């Protein structure tokens, strides 16, 4: 009988200890998003897109962002040891988006991949661990930066939301170089 009471008390102490430790830790650290020129980020298109983005993108959960958060930006994180997915809306046309560049179509959205050195807010790294894609057939340019381990789900989910939220429009690439 005494042993059973001791086991019950010990179990209660362990459960309360775990709960106290979890309360002291935030679910996720805020994701820092560098400010880049995004002249249309405060516009109605970006507001409606950001209102429609989901809480989850595959294994990535919507994450708080560090202040000041740039207008038109959102982030998702899979855990403390992974890079975040960053969405930016209302950017300028990417400099490398010119006539003749290859595009990828994902669920009716045309995406242009930029080199990492041209990605908004990026710092050159010796090994490329992420890729940045621009939706180029909508009323505003949208950049999506994906970590290498994110898989296809995030761009598929966001492509569906982009196509449901923003109407397609003709491409407007820069002149060929």
Domain boundaries, the chain: 44-165
| Alpha carbons within 13 A on the beta-carbon side of 148 | 5
Q: In 3-state terms, what secondary structure has residue 41? A: coil
Query: How far, in Å, CA of 60 to CA of 3, rounded?
Result: 44
CATH number of 44-165: 3.40.1000
**pTM (whole model) above 0.85:** no
Read off the tokens for 19.
Answer: 């709960």
Query: How far, in Å, CA of 105 to CA of 84, rounded?
Result: 23
Q: In 3-state terms, what secondary structure has residue 43? A: coil
Q: What are phi and psi of 47, to 5 degrees?
A: -60, -45
Integer CA distances (angstroms), 108 to 104, 150, 165, in order: 10, 20, 12
Contact 84/130 with Cβ under 8 angstroms?
no
Read off the tokens for 74.
Answer: 């959102």
pLDDT per position in the chain (177 positions), as tens?
665 454 444 454 444 444 444 444 445 689 999 999 999 999 999 999 999 999 999 999 999 999 999 999 999 999 888 899 999 999 999 999 999 999 999 999 999 999 765 456 555 555 568 999 999 999 999 999 999 889 999 999 999 999 999 999 999 999 998
């Amino acid at each position: 009988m005494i042993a059973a009471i001791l086991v019950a008390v010990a179990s209660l102490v362990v459960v309360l200890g775990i709960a106290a430790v979890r309360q002291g830790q935030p679910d996720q650290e805020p994701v820092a998003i560098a400010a880049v020129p995004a002249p249309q980020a405060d516009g109605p298109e970006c507001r409606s897109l950001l209102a429609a983005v989901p809480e989850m993108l595959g294994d990535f959960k919507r994450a708080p962002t560090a202040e000041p958060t740039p207008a038109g930006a959102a982030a998702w994180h899979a855990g403390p040891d992974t890079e975040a997915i960053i969405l930016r809306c209302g950017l300028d046309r990417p400099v490398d988006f010119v006539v003749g560049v290859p595009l990828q179509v994902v669920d009716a959205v045309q995406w242009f991949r930029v080199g990492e050195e041209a990605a908004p807010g990026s710092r050159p790294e010796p090994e490329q661990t992420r890729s940045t894609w621009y939706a180029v057939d909508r009323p505003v340019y949208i950049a999506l930066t994906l970590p290498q381990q994110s898989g296809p789900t995030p761009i598929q989910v966001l492509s569906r939301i982009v196509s449901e939220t923003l109407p397609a429009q003709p491409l407007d690439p820069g002149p060929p170089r």
